[in-house]
Amino acid sequence: MTGKPVSIFRTKEQMLIAEQQGNVLIDDKVLINPQFKGAEMKELLGFTIKEGSDFTVTDVKRIKDNPRAFMEVAFGEVDTDAN
C-alpha cells in the first residue's frame, strides 16, 4: 500500500519507542542516517512518514538550529530566491 508523505516532529527517543511498540516502521536508511545516529535521544527531529497501514519512516532531518531544514520538512522544498 502506498501512501502520501506526512511530516511529523518527534524526538529520537519517541520514534524508537514507537517502533518498539509496533506503531511505526523505521526504514534502515533512516537508522543509518548520520543525522539520526548523531542526534541525542531528546533532540527534536523532522521525520517523513509514508502514510499507510504500517506508517513507515522514510526520511529524517535534524532541525535544531536549522530553520531551513524545519521548513523543508514542514512545507516541502524551500524557495531559495524568495526575498
pLDDT in single tens digits along all 83 residues of the chain: 466 888 999 999 999 999 999 989 999 999 999 999 999 999 999 999 987 767 899 999 999 999 999 999 998 866 665 54
Q: Which range marks the domain in which residue 66 is found?
A: 15-40+47-75
Tell me if 82 is assigned to some domain. Answer: no
Question: Is 3 inside any structural domain?
Answer: no
* Cβ contact 62:9 at 8 Å: no
Q: What is the pLDDT of residue 80?
A: 60
Q: Is 25 inside any structural domain?
A: yes
Q: What pLDDT does 3 receive?
A: 67
How many domains does one find in the chain?
A: 1
CB 36 within 8 A of CB 61: no
Whether the pTM exceeds 0.85: the reply is no
Does 4 fall in a domain? no
- 9 forms beta bridges with 46
Do the beta carbons of residue 9 and residue 63 sit within 8 Å?
yes
